[in-house]
Amino acid sequence: MKIIITRPRAQAESFGEALQSAGYEPIYFPVIEIRPTECNAELDLALKNLAKYDWVVFTSVNAVDVFFEKGRPQESPLPCIAAIGPKTADALRKHNIEPDFIPAEYVAEAILPGLGGLNNKWVLLPRAEIARKVLPEAIVKAGGIAHEIVVYQTLPAEVDMDGLNALKSGVDVITFTSASTVQNFVALVRQNKLDPLSLPNNPLLACIGPITEQAARKEGLSNIVVAKEYTTEGLIQTINNLEKL
């Protein structure tokens, strides 16, 4: 079974190895690349003044990696830390930081209950340029002060010709791990004379969670399945279960 991986190549290796171990043929077709914000004075200032924040909420591995790129701040104790998803939590642990809260559901909407009373509390949100506004709006509505800092951009990747040729020949599954992978996949294949709504072999579209699924349906895509656990392991389990049917 041929399975397309659309996430950035730097983050795709472990997913590809896991697919291979499960007996599948991974095909790399990165549609986005991650670029840290250059000369980020706002982030530098926040790192110097971490004591003013009550919470820092990390919604992705990318946010963790960029935030701690210069090492863990030593000048002041860390605020409480929240992480969305086990991969984000694992990224924090690599910096010897154990999250204070990880929601059971790996979406931004599930974070708020774990932050407790937010009246006049400062919440730092290191995020992507295209991040959804659901979480900061909910924090403000709860009386908190949401400080969003753009720490990285999600940019369209250059087309991978091997992956494109595989799509033209027909694959079995295309995996999407974020809304941006969906949006950039659709744009990239259209730029290369393929119709994303009518791909050869009518591949299954496997989405990591409901937000990614929403993005896929918004683009008019169908033949979609959603992982029960919003992780790459959950995607593999979903594919395994479907193969047994």
Question: In the chain, what are the domain boundaries?
Answer: 2-31+157-244, 36-154
What fold, for 36-154? Rossmann fold (3.40.50)
**Confidence grade of residue 131 (pLDDT, cut at 50, 70, 90):** confident
How far from 197 is each of 127, 159, 224, CA to CA, in Å?
31, 19, 12
Whether residue 64 is predicted with pLDDT greater than 80 in this model: the reply is yes
Which of 157-164's residues contact partners 24+ apart within 8 Å by CB, and which partners? 157/8, 157/30, 157/31, 157/32, 157/33, 157/184, 157/188, 159/188, 159/191, 159/192, 160/28, 160/29, 160/30, 162/27, 162/28, 163/4, 163/27, 163/28, 163/29, 163/30, 164/29, 164/189, 164/192, 164/194
* Encoded tokens for 22: 């499960």
Nearest residue to 207 via CA among 217, 193, 220: 217
Average pLDDT, the chain: 93
**Who contacts 92 (Cβ-Cβ below 8 Å, separation ≥6)?**
58, 64, 81, 83, 98, 99
Topology alike, domains 2-31+157-244 and 36-154: yes
DSSP for residue 132: -
Q: How much is the pLDDT for 32?
A: 96
Please give the pLDDT value at position 104. 86
Give this prediction's pTM: 0.85
Distances (CA, A) of 62 to 36, 205, 239: 9, 24, 26
d(CA 165, CA 32): 18
Tens of pLDDT, residues 187-243? 999 999 999 999 999 999 999 999 999 999 999 999 999 999 989 999 999 999 987
Strand partners, 32: 156
pLDDT in tens, 133-192: 989 999 999 999 999 999 999 999 999 999 999 999 999 999 999 999 999 999 999 999
Q: What does the alpha-carbon distance between residue 42 and residue 127 come to, in Å, rounded to a whole number? A: 12
Give the separation between CA 135 and CA 9, rounded to whole angstroms.
Answer: 28
Element of type H or E holding 179: helix 179-191
Coil, helix or strand for 34? Answer: strand
Task: Tell me the fold of 2-31+157-244.
Answer: Rossmann fold (3.40.50)
